[in-house]
Amino acid sequence: MLIMARPALCSDLWEIWQIIGWVLWIFKIAIPIIIIVFGMIDLGKAVVASKDDEIKKSVKSLVMRAIAGIIIFFVPTIIGVIFGIVGDFSEVEPEYDICRACITDPGSCESQAEKGCGELGGSWNAGKCTIN
C-alpha cells in the first residue's frame, strides 16, 4: 500500500524561505538607493557637459531607473498578495501562511513555522516540524 506523505514545502523548508525573504528585503532597500545614486551621477555628468541632448537622455534614463526601482520595491508586496490569494484555500492555508510570513517578514519566520506546525497537528522540535 502506498502511503502519501503530507507535502510540507513551507514548514519543512522554512529556513530557505527565510533566506529568500532576507534577500528580497535587502534588494528592496539596496536597489532603489543604487538607482538613485547612479541616476544622480549620470544627470550630474550631463549637466556639467551642458549638452541638451545628453541631459534629455539622462533624464529619460533616470525615469526608467526610477520605475524599475518602484517595481522592485513592491515585489515583496505582490508576492504577499499572491500567497494571500493561494492561502485562502482551507486545505493549504497553514502551510502557505508560513511561506508568506517567511518571504514578507523574515524576522518572524520561525515563530510562524512553529505556529503552523501546531495547526497542522505536529510537534515542533529543534526547528523541525514532526507530524504525528
CA distance linking residue 14 with residue 66, whole number of Å? 33
Query: How many Å apart are CA 94 and CA 10, to the nearest integer?
Result: 9
Q: Where are the alpha helices (DSSP H) in the chain?
A: 9-12, 14-49, 52-73, 75-87, 93-104, 109-119
122 - beta bridge partners?
131
Tens-digit pLDDT profile for residues 42-90: 888 888 888 888 888 888 888 888 888 888 778 777 877 777 776 666 5
Q: Cβ contacts of residue 38 below 8 Å, gap of 6+? A: 65
Q: What is the pLDDT of residues 91-131, one digit of tens each?
A: 666 677 777 788 878 888 888 777 777 776 777 777 777 66
Give the domain ranges of the chain. Answer: 10-118
